[in-house]
Amino acid sequence: MFTKLPEAIIIENVSPEINAGEFPIKVVCGEKIDVSANILKDGHEIIRAQVLYKEVNQRIWKRKDLKFEGYDTWRGSFYVEQELLKYVYTIEAWVDPIATWVDGIVN
């Protein structure tokens, strides 16, 4: 029996990052970090994306939605809440089947 594998979502050109994340970016407490990435997928499904961030020693990620700005570009931001801590962040994207279904009915 043939099983269709989910198609990959590609996330590239993440900014800010230095040498593919090898070195940390430097910011001041309370400063806004603007994040952008190119997120794309074959097909017509609607994609959603978020930036996940946390202080290195924390277990729980905080999330902020990214907004689609056209031409595969997504943008969002988060604020550094404490000084002298290392933060990590990543981008997560997924297909939204309900939004895709609604869009198919409306359009």
Residues 50-91 pLDDT 10s: 999 988 888 999 999 999 999 999 999 998 877 767 888 899
25 in a structural domain: yes
Q: Is 2 domain-assigned? A: no
Cβ neighbours, 10 Å, residue 53: 20
Instruction: Give the domain range for residue 65.
Output: 10-106
What CATH number is attached to the domain comprising 33? 2.60.40.10
Give a yes or no: residue 4 inside a domain.
no
d(CA 107, CA 97): 15
In a domain, 30, yes or no: yes
pTM of the model: 0.82
Please report the beta strands in the chain, taking only residues with DSSP state E, as ranges in sequence order: 10-15, 32-40, 47-55, 62-65, 67-70, 73-79, 87-95
| Contact yes or no for 17/38 (Cβ under 8 A) | no
Residue 1, in any domain of the structure: no
- Specify if 44 maps to a domain: yes
Neighbours of 45 (CB within 10 A): 17
Model pLDDT for residues 89-99, shown as the tens digit of each residue: 899 999 988 88
